[in-house]
């Protein structure tokens, strides 16, 4: 069962991130390939380069999987640039207190939810994913990789808005529907396992 946590702590160092990833690997034995890719990236860079959005070898990002109060649906936003339904999240700022705080900030910025609306259900990394981001001429950014560290939150809000600057829509997707989704079936399975 999920517990509710309060966000505390300080921005993780390179060593802290490596330890978080090793702990994640220990708990998620079937994801060794994915964890190894991120660990290799972290090993190649210093602390600030890990989150610098101008590091086009890649950078760590943080996102929030937000489940509803019934714990049977996940919130997705239609990403304006990528034209895909994704969880809220994005770049880590140098001013963020921690990676989970970055995920919370991104979620609040993109959905209009307040800190009181977002309960942290896991202090640990809940899921990881490395994915390619195409060139963005408007932002003068070359193609690169986002090494996304994902955290789990819950909200009791039924209606969640979206920021038109970054998204074109929002919707709740039932976990049962995600069970066969190529990108999100693993996440849906993890949530359902935690509920048992």
Question: What phi and psi, each to the nearest 5 degrees, are found at residue 103?
Answer: -60, -45
pLDDT band at 2 (very low <50, low <70, confident <90, very high): low
Q: Model confidence at 3, in pLDDT bands (50, 70, 90)?
A: low
Q: In this structure, what DSSP letter does residue 172 have?
A: E
Asked if 87 contacts 74 with a C-beta cutoff of 8 angstroms, the reply is yes
pLDDT in the model for residue 7? 59
Q: How confident is the model at residue 36 (pLDDT cuts 50, 70, 90)?
A: very high
Percent of the chain with pLDDT over 70: 94
- Predicted confidence at residue 158, as pLDDT, reads 83
Is 45 a residue whose pLDDT tops 80? Answer: yes
pLDDT in tens, 48-102: 999 999 999 999 999 999 999 999 999 999 888 778 999 999 999 999 999 999 9
Q: Is residue 56 part of a domain?
A: yes
The mean pLDDT value of the chain amounts to 90
6 pLDDT above the threshold of 60: no
Cross-strand pairs, 125: none
Pure H helices in 28-98: 32-44
pTM value is 0.90
Q: Is residue 3, in this structure, part of any structural domain at all?
A: no
3-state secondary structure at position 165:
coil
Q: In the chain, which ranges are E strands?
A: 59-67, 73-79, 85-86, 89-91, 119-120, 127-133, 144-154, 167-174
| pLDDT range class, residue 9, cuts 50, 70, 90 | low
CA-based nearest residue to 188, from 85, 111, 73: 73
Q: Is there a domain that residue 1 lies in? A: no
Residue 5 forms part of a structural domain: no
The per-residue pLDDT for 5 is 47
> Quick check: is 25 in a domain?
yes
Tell whether 7 is covered by a domain. Answer: no
Structural domain includes residue 8: no
Which residues does residue 172 pair with via DSSP β-bridges, in sequence order?
Answer: 75
Q: How many domains does the chain have?
A: 1
Q: What's the pLDDT at 32?
A: 94
Give the pLDDT of residue 8.
56
List, for residues 158-174, the tens digit of each pLDDT value: 877 777 788 778 899 99
Q: Which two tokens stand for residue 102?
A: 């970055």
Work out the burial of residue 46: count CB atoms within 10 Å of its CB; fewer than 13 is exposed, 13-18 middle, 19 or more buried. Answer: exposed
pLDDT recorded at residue 196: 46
Q: Reply yes or no on whether the pLDDT at 4 is more than 90.
A: no
- Note whether residue 115 is domain-resident: yes
DSSP state of 47: T
CATH number at residue 172: 3.90.79.10
Lowest mean pLDDT among 113-122, 141-150, 163-172, 181-190: 163-172
Could you tell me the residue range of the domain that residue 176 belongs to?
14-195
């Amino acid at each position: 069962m999920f517990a509710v946590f309060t966000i505390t702590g300080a921005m993780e160092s390179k060593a802290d991130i490596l330890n978080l990833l090793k702990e994640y690997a220990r708990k998620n034995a079937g994801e060794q390939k994915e964890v190894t890719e991120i660990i290799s990236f972290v090993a190649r860079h210093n602390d600030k380069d890990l989150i610098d959005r101008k590091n086009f070898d890649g950078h760590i990002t943080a996102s929030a999987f937000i489940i509803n109060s019934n714990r049977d649906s996940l919130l997705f936003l239609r990403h304006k640039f990528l034209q895909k339904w994704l969880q809220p999240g994005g770049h880590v700022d140098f001013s963020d207190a921690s990676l989970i705080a970055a995920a919370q900030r991104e979620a609040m910025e993109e959905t209009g939810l307040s800190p009181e609306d977002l309960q942290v259900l896991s202090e640990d990394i809940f899921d990881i994913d490395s994915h390619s981001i195409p060139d963005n001429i408007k932002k003068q950014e070359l193609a690169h990789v986002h090494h996304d560290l994902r955290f789990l939150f819950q909200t009791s809000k039924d209606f969640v808005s979206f920021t038109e600057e970054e998204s074109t829509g929002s919707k709740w997707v039932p976990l049962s529907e995600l069970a066969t989704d190529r990108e999100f079936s693993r996440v849906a399975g993890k949530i359902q396992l935690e509920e048992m």
